Amino acid sequence: MKKLAIFIVLALLLTLCSTPVYANGIPELPHAFYGTVKINGSSAPVGTSVEARGEGVATGIAGNPTTTTVSGIYATYNPTNHCPVNPWWLHQGYHSKTT
């Protein structure tokens, strides 16, 4: 009987003194800029430099600006391909606006 009482007291202490663990939510999806680019209404030629600009967007780094490799297209929406702007280039809390 004494062993049972000790077991119950220990079980209650462990239950009441345990520290809760909080999990963070799922991280936001990364920013990615991609699409078509035109100069004076015509598709931009291969080799055109395209730069994303806006509040919190870092420029002059690898991938921003990017250079077109296909006429009229800069980057693609493909998670395995490199896009012109990755989330670690952005300052936390800012939402980019392209200009």
DSSP-assigned states of every residue in 24-59: P-PPPPPP---EE-EETTEEPPTT-EE---STTB--
pLDDT at 45: 92
Residue 67: give the domain boundaries: 30-99
Above 70 in pLDDT, residue 83?
no
Above 80 in pLDDT, residue 2?
yes
Domain-located, residue 58: yes
Domain-located, residue 19: no
Domain-located, residue 40: yes
Provide the pairing of β-strand 49-50 with 66-67: antiparallel
